[in-house]
Amino acid sequence: MARNWDCSAWLRRTAEAISFLVSSLVLLMSASASGDYIYWSDNNTGKIQFGDTQGSAFGGPITYYDFTDGLVFPRGIALDLTNRQVYWSDAGTDTIRRANLDWMSAPVTILDSSDGLSNPLDIALDIPNGFIYWTDSSASTVSRSALDGSGVTVLFNFLDGLVQPVGVAIDVVANRIYWADANASVIQRGNLDGSGVPVTLFNSLDGLLLVQHLALDAAGTSLYWTNIASGSFPEISRGNADGTGSPAILFDGTDGLDQPAGLALDEVGALIYFADPGASNIQIGNLDGSGSPSIIYSAGNGLVLPYGLAFEDVAPAPNAPASGLAAVAAMLFAIAALVRPMLRRAHVRR
């Protein structure tokens, strides 16, 4: 007797195989030409994308998640490299979501409007202690919850002088959280548990005007921020994390900046990456501000309003045929993209 072919079972097995294949690309990518990667959100195209830091591997940016996954206006982005997951906020859906970096699993919503979100912007992760922190510019709040979205706690709000908080950074060792308030033109610091009164580190007298995103170095001693201001005054600056001294301008409008937003640091390589939605590009510059920044990805790569940015330092595999592996990785991603919607539906129905 002929046996009926189980199409759904075949699809599930194929989905699992593709999922494993795409997960394995992470190892394949580590042998690419640069070894380092940046991830970003595009607030216009509704995409979470990544690419190598030289812009040369894989034939251009790779899209991880997009509008077919429910993304509308993705903003802040953060990586959990321990568990190979990516988190992002979405101002269009008032959510914070998480997905595996296997590229196949569907995103999971961990926080939404029922948790008080009304315009979530930047996010920061404390993986060892199991917390996620975020800013909400409409609610004028800085909040945190467990990584699964439980235990939402508003740490600071309008009663603490917050108006339109945008960027956020944390120092787990020193028990500190930093945020940039665009409307108030200040950078402030508070305790991670919300206790105490916030301290203003920098303000308009330090040149802040519509300050946006923050990045904190690993030692917790230096803060970096983007300042879009107006006209010819967009800047990327650095200041002491304790607020002492005067900030130093690293790059400004004379370096081609328009409206710089998300920042990411590569302290090993002494480099800084930033997204500029006004110029529709992502750039790289020296961490000390010397020289001029260079464009890695631009409108020619499909970028419209790149916003949030995250960096992954991947050690290259020794003696690996980098260009060949990168080409194979790009080909596999292209093939997977063609069958991904069907396979993901099968994967979800499992």
Tens digits of per-residue pLDDT, 227-247?
987 555 899 999 999 999 999
Q: What is the rounded distance in angstroms from the CA atom of residue 33 to the CA atom of residue 58?
A: 10
Asked if residue 66 and residue 25 are part of one domain, the reply reads: no
Phi-psi region of 58 (alpha: psi -120 to 50; beta: other; left: phi over 0): left
* Radius of gyration of the chain measured on its C-alpha atoms: 21
Please return the burial class of 246, using the count of CB atoms within 10 Å of its CB with bins 0-12, 13-18 and 19+. Answer: exposed
Q: What is the rounded distance in angstroms from the CA atom of residue 262 to the CA atom of residue 215?
A: 9
Q: What is the mean pLDDT of residues 139-144?
A: 98
**Which of 52-66, 105-119, 287-301, 318-332 bottoms out in mean pLDDT, i.e. has the lowest?**
318-332
Residue 99 placed within a domain: yes
Q: Return the sign of the alpha-carbon dihedral for residues 325, 283, 172, 119.
A: negative
Q: What is the mean pLDDT of residues 129-158?
A: 97
Q: Look at residues 257, 281, 316 and tell me which one is the last residue of a structural domain.
A: 257
Both tokens of 209, joined, read 């005007």
Asked if residue 74 and residue 215 are part of one domain, the reply reads: yes
Asked if 303 contacts 48 with a C-beta cutoff of 8 angstroms, the reply is no
**Domain of 175?**
57-257
Both tokens of 318, joined, read 């020794």
Residue 312 placed within a domain: no
Nearest residue to 177 via CA among 201, 158, 159, 161: 201
pLDDT on residue 338: 56
The confidence band for 19, taking pLDDT boundaries of 50, 70 and 90, is low
Q: What is the rounded distance in angstroms from the CA atom of residue 241 to the CA atom of residue 202?
A: 10
For the cut 90, the answer to whether the pLDDT of residue 335 exceeds it is: no
Q: Return the sign of the alpha-carbon dihedral for residues 287, 306, 187, 90.
A: negative
Asked if residue 128 and residue 26 are part of one domain, the reply reads: no
Residue 140 placed within a domain: yes
Asked if residue 247 and residue 149 are part of one domain, the reply reads: yes
- The total domain count for the chain is 2
Name 195's Cβ contacts closer than 8 Å, sequence gap at least 6. none
Both tokens of 204, joined, read 């308009």
pLDDT on residue 54: 86
Q: 242-272: per-residue pLDDT in tens?
A: 999 999 999 999 999 999 999 999 999 999 9
Question: What average pLDDT does the structure give for the chain?
Answer: 86
Name 98's Cβ contacts closer than 8 Å, sequence gap at least 6. 85, 86, 87, 107, 108, 110, 147
Q: Look at residues 257, 281, 308 and tell me which one is the last residue of a structural domain.
A: 257
Asked if 29 contacts 21 with a C-beta cutoff of 8 angstroms, the reply is no
SS3 17: helix
pLDDT on residue 73: 97
Asked if residue 330 and residue 228 are part of one domain, the reply reads: no
Cα angle value 300/44/260 (rounded, 5°): 75
The answer to whether the predicted template modeling score (pTM) of the entire model surpasses 0.95 is no
Q: What's 248's domain CATH number?
A: 2.120.10.30
Residue 274 placed within a domain: no
Q: 20-59: per-residue pLDDT in tens?
A: 555 555 545 544 444 689 999 999 999 999 998 988 767 7
Asked if 69 contacts 106 with a C-beta cutoff of 8 angstroms, the reply is yes
For the cut 50, the answer to whether the pLDDT of residue 317 exceeds it is: no
Q: Look at residues 257, 286, 309 and tell me which one is the last residue of a structural domain.
A: 257
